[in-house]
Chains A and B, each alone.
Chain A
């Protein structure tokens, strides 16, 4: 069971190699195959997450949530997709067409790029970059730029304010988000995600880096614009924020990207702090999946509990609370590692 997906990948690889291609081409073909696999995985999860969010919200709010279409309303998600895809595509006359359209086309790209390095199980990643974590940080912050493009290109005042807020959010929460990983990197000495997971064989980094984990959760929540940090969308004041003017397929892209980001953030958290695929009895990929969904549930819990934070409070909280704490965390981690080494060399450990 543990190697089921790796074996399937192996068969496909053998099949492709059977055409007599060179090794490099087989590798590239395999990347494409894995891309499709990841894409299917992400899309299935995204539609499920949309459904799950509604059911979870219903659970928290003492109501039922969607339960009419199919058993427990499970086909609601199919109907949602069909509905979104069968709407008319409207490009506002006043919009900056190039920027407006580009934003919708590229919003999903950074998210997909993040999934490229995530190890869903032992050896189960598309490409195991040796600077994986750094790569994740680099591509995930692109999202802000795209949201800003959408906000600016729509030529809608609500969208514009939403785009500006997205930038404000990125400007602040990027720093603690980046700093929260430093402690883990110091412990492992590698940016490679598979190495980071291997290092958690005995003890997960949530135990060694609890504060970093909390900082990661908060800053990560802000990075993906989910409540209480959903300022760029800010339904109550900005109607729908940066995607007010989008319809049909283009809106679907934003909608999917939002949930794909949520899942990506949970995947990163699982990989870096929750020990990735490690766990007893069950196969590794299942453990990864379970941990990921626990984090997703946590984020939904937070979203449906807290009111939206105000933008200046958000900035203050980040720069005056989170940033000093994350700096202190790095310092404490450094001292801790050195102290541990000293004790060990002196033979007291």
Chain B
């Protein structure tokens, strides 16, 4: 178990190192002739007007809230699904209750208009 996760650590480190190699190779191979014009932000050939980092209107804000609810629910559903066959009838009834809760939650969000793009 511990060995597996130390392996994962090594793997992760190796995976992080690799992109540096590629970018480094590209830095060596590529030309380096920067000029201010080149370093400007691309906006169809013109200078940008106004700030870019604005209070962006994310129309999916309510979706995101519902998403958090469901994402947390999946954390419970996974262990349950693994043990589903072992737990027998208890798990089955529990599942029906749990899914009923999910469905009611979804129905409520739907009814309240959280699932509308605004």
- State the A residues within 8 Å of B (CB): 24, 27-28, 31-32, 35-36, 39, 84-95, 104-109, 112-113, 116, 126-129, 134, 152, 154-158, 160, 164, 167-168, 171-172, 174-175, 178-179, 182, 185-186, 189-191, 239, 244-245, 248-250, 252-253, 311-312, 315-316, 319-320, 323-324, 327, 330-331, 334, 337-338, 341
Contacts and interface: CB of A to CB of B under 8 A. Distances in A.
Contacts of B36: 93
Contacts of A27: 3, 7
A127 B1 CA distance: 11
A175 B68 CA distance: 10
A250 B103 CA distance: 44
Given A87-B30, A116-B8, A178-B74, A108 B15 contact: yes
Interface of B: 3-4, 6-8, 10-12, 14-16, 18-20, 22-27, 29-34, 36, 38-44, 48, 52-53, 56, 58-60, 63-64, 66-67, 70-71, 74, 77-78, 81-86, 89, 92, 95-96, 99, 102-103, 106, 110, 115, 117
Contact of A172 (B26, B67, B96, B106): B67
Contacts of A86: 26, 29-31
B74 to A, nearest CB: 5
Contacts of B58: 164, 167-168
Given A93-B39, A113-B15, A337 B85 contact: yes
Given A105-B16, A319-B63, A92 B52 contact: no
B78 A182 contact: yes
Instruction: Specify the main secondary structure of chain B where it touches its partner.
Output: helix
- In this complex, the member of A116, A250, A334 whose beta carbon has the largest number of chain B beta carbons within 10 angstroms is A334
Nearest to B34: A90
B4 A129 contact: yes
Contacts of B12: 109, 113
B11 A248 contact: no
